Structure 1
Amino acid sequence: MIRLAALLWLALATTAAACEAVSHRDRAFTVCTADLAIHDIALRLNGADGRALGTFVALETVTDAPIAFAMNGGMYHQDRRPVGLYVEDGREAKRIVTSAGPGNFGMLPNGVFCVERGRARVVESRAFAARPPACRQATQSGPMLVIDGALHPRFLPGSPYLNLRNGVGASADGRRVHFVISDEPVTFHEMATLFRDVLGLRDALYLDGRVSRLYAPALGRADPGRRMGPILVVTEKTDG
């Protein structure tokens, strides 16, 4: 069953930046894929006025290149400031947090989604702090969903805790990045096994729940909801 799902995913992934419906363990997900040969990935938080963009409509006003898709990009405080590490266009606005704490963010191990020049990856936070890569864009969130091929140790197959959730992971060579959002409430375990067993990723990061939202113009989809903090946006390259 897992092999069949993986083969199905490989067939779906041949379309660049496709957002595809994927069923996993009888749960509905949407998987959007960015190919860094033809797409750029950026983080956006504030507009020119210094205030948080908060919405996909506002994101459009500050984005010149065509948007392939976008989604909420990490946990944030009530004033929409990032909870953990935040790097936008090479500038670090918030330092990394490596201590355990309350909530999903503090459920160690957590991690960082990092976009370097020409590649992207998910790195466990303490490993990141010990040897920080040169990220052009980075957002810290938690918990890790998959760590070096293993599921987070606190995930339970029969957990009763269901929620809308989204996350991100990259291929081994860092050239393809998979953004996943559940289209119905799911467990951490269900989302993590999709990244590992269907997408074949060894590392994946949880971005958030409840506030999880996707903007995919090709699907005519712009999920409503509360105002966001960091937003991950995938655009078509315009420099050839």
Structure 2
Amino acid sequence: MIRHALFAWLALAVPSVAQDCAPVTHRDRVFTVCTADLATQKVTLHLNGPDGQPLGSFEALERAVEAPIVFAMNGGMYHQDRRPVGLYVEDGVQTAGMVTQAGPGNFGMLPNGIFCVRADRADVFETRAFAADPVACDAATQSGPMLVIDGALHPRFLPESPSAKIRNGVGASDDGGTVYFVISDGPVTFYEMGTLFRDVLGVRNALFLDGSISRLHVPAAGRHDPGRTMGPMIAVTER
């Protein structure tokens, strides 16, 4: 009930963009929550342009996507040459493999996860569970750590952690029909972002996408975050 009342208020407060993106304050931190309804909108992943080179920017993404973009954001971690770090699927074609072992950095802080989009739904899966029982994704990106796993926060998140950065992440409703894309408007901890997904949005599985490079593009709201050249990007368009 709290969640529904919150978004009802936002729809009145910011009618021009509330259907897509709206501010949410949680634990004295401000986040922007962008909501995709898969009944009327499409979620796609994009890395390279027609020339085979990484798009890298929202401007290039706008030129590459035929339908008008409702909103877009960076879509997962990448190497220096923009190649995805883990599993990457675009238009049903896998171009990078899954990584299941622990490793350095946020990506390797297991459990990590996979954001998977299919024709009628989207889900966040814990990576090793996905590897044991994979599904065919039209689009997929792997990142880490998981923020929420089956309703529980990642076990390594600390309420008093001093590590605060701009961060973005993704989660989906239980029925897979609604996808929440979240970016913090200032530095936040993993704990703060994880509890936003779990306690405010009611998401049982959510995935961290990236940190300091996080950016959001909302043309109708005039928002176009500046920053470094990106690797994978997520675009939401009307069907």
Unaligned runs of 5+ in 2: none
The separation in 1 between residues aligned to 2:34 and 2:179, in whole angstroms, is: 8
The separation in 1 between residues aligned to 2:8 and 2:114, in whole angstroms, is: 26
CA 28–69 in structure 1, closer or farther in 2 if over 3 Å, else same: same
CA 104–10 in structure 1, closer or farther in 2 if over 3 Å, else same: farther
The separation in 2 between residues aligned to 1:176 and 1:10, in whole angstroms, is: 16
Q: Determine helix, strand or coil for the equivalent of 2:61.
A: helix
Alpha-carbon deviation of 1:10? 5.5
Q: Of the candidates 48, 57, 61, which is equivalent to residue 59 of structure 2?
A: 57
Q: Of the candidates 6, 9, 19, which is equivalent to residue 8 of structure 1?
A: 6
- Is 2:221 the counterpart of 1:223? no
Amino acid at match of 1:35: D
Unaligned runs of 5+ in 1: none
Q: Of the candidates 138, 156, 159, which is equivalent to residue 140 of structure 2?
A: 138
The equivalent of 2:199 in structure 1 is 197
Q: Give the conservation status (yes or no) of the 8 Å contact 1:169–1:195.
A: yes
Q: Give the conservation status (yes or no) of the 8 Å contact 1:109–1:143.
A: yes
Alpha-carbon deviation of 1:12? 4.0
The equivalent of 2:41 in structure 1 is 39
- Is 2:76 the counterpart of 1:78? no
Alpha-carbon deviation of 1:9? 3.3
Instruction: Output the TM-score relative to the length of structure 1.
Output: 0.95
The equivalent of 1:175 in structure 2 is 177
Q: Give the conservation status (yes or no) of the 8 Å contact 2:146–2:154.
A: yes
Q: Give the conservation status (yes or no) of the 8 Å contact 2:3–2:202.
A: no
Q: Determine helix, strand or coil for the equivalent of 2:89.
A: strand
Matches within 5 A, 1:78-157: 78-157=80-159
The separation in 2 between residues aligned to 1:35 and 1:108, in whole angstroms, is: 29
Alpha-carbon deviation of 1:177? 0.2
Q: Give the conservation status (yes or no) of the 8 Å contact 2:89–2:140.
A: yes
Alpha-carbon deviation of 1:13? 7.2
The separation in 2 between residues aligned to 1:4 and 1:203, in whole angstroms, is: 19
The separation in 2 between residues aligned to 1:6 and 1:236, in whole angstroms, is: 23
**Identical positions, percent:** 68
Q: Give the conservation status (yes or no) of the 8 Å contact 1:73–1:207.
A: yes
